[in-house]
Chains A and B, each alone.
Chain A
């Protein structure tokens, strides 16, 4: 049974490593684009060598780090240090509509693949260069990666408690900001090309993408001179607002009361205890003034319930509230299961229940069609013979010379 796919026929070379580029091309692959990930065992994508691993032991084909962000792609093993490796890459470039890379600037140039050269091979190619800080500038050559960039972009300084060190974000957060811009730029460029016939080269900066997600704070500094710091769980327009301890080990429920109606409903839910009628909690302004005391009193109530109970009681009364979900909660979450966010796919090495992830958007007519992430080099022969039309003798010769490693 074939369901039509939105990006059927779109051909993408994915030269990117780690997270930003691969997440962007995952969006394309899951919706039907033919995405060829060019890899080499000589220089493994870091996501293939970081645990945890299916089966418990290190294996370049089994880490969720790789599986989650490389669904539905083809993997071609190509040794770009071999002189004929570049020849094969050029064949791919001729084939492709889009090429995505996130190298330090000048790497493509070193291979003789600056935009002018790419256009000679494929005049209408769309090239997305998603470097960390842009192709040029005083910091363009600075080596960087997710956790560092997240600090450079200003995020750590706005996470945590005012009386403590800044906190890390868990994930290298900028790797979940830049890909949306990479994907959007790619799709906009595809639209542009459909209308005008012209390709383009896009020079994107992951750091700038990340800064875009701090726009309100940037404006607050530019206009009001305020530097946004760490505010714990405070919110200028809501109180109670925070994470409140519930029964069990490290179990929390967040509650956000913004309007007067929500405050009234909140008081009802917690049984209209006397303290809720105190003048010091009557208005948002008053509650903000007495927020420490307020939070202590709220937590006295939540501590007698499970996080799920708090969430359900509050939600039944129309108050935003939610369990602070941990890894287990995510896997067992009813809503995420309903949506099919986590998927178990048939993986060549792992078997039929290999955990992968889908995306947050569902298209009604052209739903995503997820396939398991590829083992390294699984599709080299397919790409060469079916996509590039390479004769078998040529493939065998190149294979024997060690080009496909």
Chain B
């Protein structure tokens, strides 16, 4: 068996009908070795218009969002809303193991291409539907966008500064969350199919995906009639506990450090000792017995009084210096990285996390984040870059489905491909 076939999901074919809400699912399956066919309407997925772009050239073949979330997929164009297009889709669906889609609830059924129709002739099919709110329910027809999903999932409320509006992630997270969680549901259904031969429908709600990310938020209301609040650079731990700062500016960026007490109080003392060695530890700070403090008993005013000289100390030193001293002295202090730091991380390059992916048509070899795990058996790797619009039409329609070149031209002229 070639190494290709040893990849985890190599024997399986995925038909990917998604827009950006679901791209990540097909990508993860493809990166694990599945044969993913991205199906776009003729002209390409409208979300290809979203930047940033390769060298800022606004072009549907150069969207970095498209590049990032559509690796390891081949691409065809097909208008499934036409009779001929739907027929072609059914031919492909007959041999597929997975279909992933993110149309509004009911859309595929209206085209007679929904789960019940497909499972009639392919009972093993697993169809995964990713929508903002799910297939049923009072909000099922609501429109969403990243900020809407994040807001209605309850995560946005606790991000940002208290004196400003709640804030979202500047790198959109809801698409990746929905896709990744959809993959877990899909593979659970797949295992069931391995045992029984039966497929099924997997219904993924982006709102729920985010609500699950919202941590203990609902518990604060359920248990204490309280609300989990946003705290900016501090950590909110419930109304009965003081709020510690955790993000501190330093000379050349930011560091992550929290005031620790009781069993971990020695780590705070270690920092105060370091400050003292620089003559920057005020008496009132040196006098505190951190190890005998219970965090619940600390008052917010005292905490802020102690944090203040610590903040001043951090401001005077670089991340590297602070990091080195922290390691030496057992202080739990860590750098806060930006995107550049991630790319330059010695740990990530040691692990060979980065993968070079060829883009021959733009003459580029681009460094991509690879797959986050290795295996002694079948380590997954990105198979190829994201497809161009209709890039594999001939491979699929002619080589696989046996259409002629004339058929293809005719379908293309009719706008079906």
A residues in contact (CB < 8 Å) with B: 4, 6-10, 27-28, 31, 51-54, 56, 64-65, 68, 115, 133-134, 136-140, 143-144, 147-148, 151-161, 164-171, 173, 176-178, 180-181, 183-185, 187-192, 194-195, 198-209, 211-224, 226-238, 241-245, 252-254, 256, 258, 315, 318-331, 333-336, 338-339, 341-342, 355, 357, 359-366
Q: Distance (Å) between the CB of B299 and the closest chain A CB?
A: 18
B372 at the interface (CB under 8 A from A): yes
In addition to A208-B373, A233-B147, 8 A-B residue pairs with Cβ atoms within 8 Å of each other are A10-B191, A31-B188, A52-B220, A185-B373, A322-B151, A327-B218, A338-B137, A339-B137
Interface stretch of the complex, out of B45-53, B88-96, B283-291: B45-53
**Residue in A closest to B155 when the chains form the complex, CB atoms:** A170
Check if A243 sits within 8 Å of B134, measured CB to CB: no
CB within 8 Å of A: which B189-237 residues: 189-192, 194-196, 198, 200-209, 211-224, 226-228, 230-236
The residue that B339 contacts in the complex, of A65, A192, A217, with Cβ under 8 A, is: A217
B361 at the interface (CB under 8 A from A): no
Check if A233 sits within 8 Å of B168, measured CB to CB: yes
Check if A233 sits within 8 Å of B167, measured CB to CB: yes
Check if B211 sits within 8 Å of A330, measured CB to CB: yes
Given A218-B343, A327-B228, A331-B218, also A361-B373 (CB < 8 A): no
B353 at the interface (CB under 8 A from A): yes
The residue that A330 contacts in the complex, of B115, B154, B256, B338, with Cβ under 8 A, is: B154
Which chain B positions have C-beta within 8 A of A136? 350-351
CB within 8 Å of A: which B359-400 residues: 364, 366-378
B254 at the interface (CB under 8 A from A): yes
B181 at the interface (CB under 8 A from A): yes
Which chain B positions have C-beta within 8 A of A227? 338-340
Given A208-B353, A211-B353, A363-B189, also A324-B166 (CB < 8 A): yes
Q: How far is the CA of A7 from the CA of B158 in the complex (A)?
A: 35
Q: Distance (Å) between the CB of A300 and the closest chain B CB?
A: 15
Check if A236 sits within 8 Å of B213, measured CB to CB: no
**Residue in A closest to B142 when the chains form the complex, CB atoms:** A315
B133 at the interface (CB under 8 A from A): yes
Q: Distance (Å) between the CB of A360 and the closest chain B CB?
A: 4
Which chain A positions have C-beta within 8 A of B201? 363-365
The residue that B170 contacts in the complex, of A7, A28, A230, with Cβ under 8 A, is: A230
B176 at the interface (CB under 8 A from A): yes
Check if B185 sits within 8 Å of A320, measured CB to CB: no
Given A133-B347, A338-B137, A364-B200, also A220-B157 (CB < 8 A): no
Check if B8 sits within 8 Å of A242, measured CB to CB: no
Q: How far is the CA of A8 from the CA of B364 in the complex (A)?
A: 47
B187 at the interface (CB under 8 A from A): yes
Q: How far is the CA of A34 from the CA of B35 in the complex (A)?
A: 31
Check if A180 sits within 8 Å of B183, measured CB to CB: yes
Which chain B positions have C-beta within 8 A of A220? 52, 64, 339
Check if A200 sits within 8 Å of B377, measured CB to CB: yes
Which size bracket describes the interface of B in this complex?
35 or more
Which chain B positions have C-beta within 8 A of A241? 147
The residue that B144 contacts in the complex, of A143, A170, A322, with Cβ under 8 A, is: A322
Q: Distance (Å) between the CB of A58 and the closest chain B CB?
A: 10
Check if B153 sits within 8 Å of A188, measured CB to CB: no
Check if B336 sits within 8 Å of A159, measured CB to CB: no
The residue that B233 contacts in the complex, of A168, A190, A219, A321, with Cβ under 8 A, is: A168
Most B-side CB within 10 Å, residue of A211, A229, A329? A211
A-B pairs under 8 A by CB, number: 496
Could you list some 26 contacts between A and B, CB below 8 A?
Answer: A6-B191, A8-B195, A68-B216, A152-B334, A153-B337, A156-B247, A156-B336, A161-B164, A170-B215, A176-B213, A184-B28, A189-B8, A191-B190, A201-B376, A205-B353, A212-B369, A222-B367, A227-B338, A256-B145, A315-B143, A322-B144, A322-B147, A324-B156, A326-B217, A341-B212, A360-B204
Given A187-B188, A224-B55, A333-B152, also A158-B376 (CB < 8 A): no
The residue that A165 contacts in the complex, of B133, B152, B249, with Cβ under 8 A, is: B249
B43 at the interface (CB under 8 A from A): no
The residue that A158 contacts in the complex, of B144, B170, B206, B216, with Cβ under 8 A, is: B170
Check if B9 sits within 8 Å of A188, measured CB to CB: yes
Check if A52 sits within 8 Å of B223, measured CB to CB: yes
CB within 8 Å of A: which B134-189 residues: 134, 136-140, 142-161, 164-173, 176-178, 180-189
The residue that B215 contacts in the complex, of A54, A171, A320, with Cβ under 8 A, is: A171
Which chain A positions have C-beta within 8 A of B144? 320, 322
B348 at the interface (CB under 8 A from A): yes
Which chain A positions have C-beta within 8 A of B211? 330, 333, 336, 341, 357, 360
Check if A205 sits within 8 Å of B351, measured CB to CB: yes
Which chain B positions have C-beta within 8 A of A27? 184, 188
Check if B139 sits within 8 Å of A334, measured CB to CB: yes
Interface stretch of the complex, out of B65-73, B270-278, B404-412: B65-73
Check if A256 sits within 8 Å of B153, measured CB to CB: no
Which chain A positions have C-beta within 8 A of B369? 208, 211-212, 214-215, 218
Which chain A positions have C-beta within 8 A of B136? 338
Which chain A positions have C-beta within 8 A of B236? 170
B107 at the interface (CB under 8 A from A): no
Which chain B positions have C-beta within 8 A of A209? 372
Check if A143 sits within 8 Å of B203, measured CB to CB: no
Which chain B positions have C-beta within 8 A of A190? 191
